[in-house]
Amino acid sequence: MSTRVGIILLSGTLDKAMPAFMLGTTAAALGFEVGIFFSFYGLTVIHKEKVKNLKVSPIGNPAMPMPVTVPQILTVMPGMMDFATGMMKKMMEKHNIPSIEELIQQALDMGVKLYPCQTAMQLFEFKKEDLIEGVEEPVGATTFLSFVNQADKPIVMNF
């Protein structure tokens, strides 16, 4: 029986992209076919330039561990996003967690299909050549959902 995993990534933040790729590469390692659909701000994760600057958003994220207690209202202060991003990257490095760039390459090497959303590409005026090498041709939601639903056991996750 075939299983396909479809992951929809709508967010362009590091804290949403990391779990999407961790689950995607894990599913591929288990032998599942995996496709990740990048729509709206999720497109920044597969953009050649924008992927280098993904941030962690502490705003509205009360579960985010901080070295000191920071009231939620202070997370909107200038510099807090850079602080949270730096803190997350240090934690990842300390625990030998691959960077997002490394996870993307692992996913490609494992055969995970990376599908840019055609509508979002038009909306943000991205061109295929703006995206990292190895992504699929831009597709609509119908094409992506058809990919997932062609399996005996489809699984869909949203980030």
pLDDT of 49: 93
pLDDT, average across residues 47-61: 80
Task: Name the 3-class secondary structure at 2.
Answer: coil
Confidence at 63, pLDDT banded by 50, 70, 90:
low
Architecture of domain 3-54+100-158: 3-Layer(aba) Sandwich (3.40)
pLDDT, average across residues 1-27: 92
Mean pLDDT (the chain) is 87
pLDDT at 42 over 90: yes
Q: For the chain, give every domain's residue range.
A: 3-54+100-158
Q: Which strand (E) or helix (H) includes residue 37?
A: strand 33-38
Confidence at 82, pLDDT banded by 50, 70, 90:
confident
pLDDT of 144: 95
pLDDT, average across residues 9-25: 93
State the DSSP string of 140-159: -HHHHHHHHHTSSEEEEEE-
pLDDT, average across residues 113-138: 97
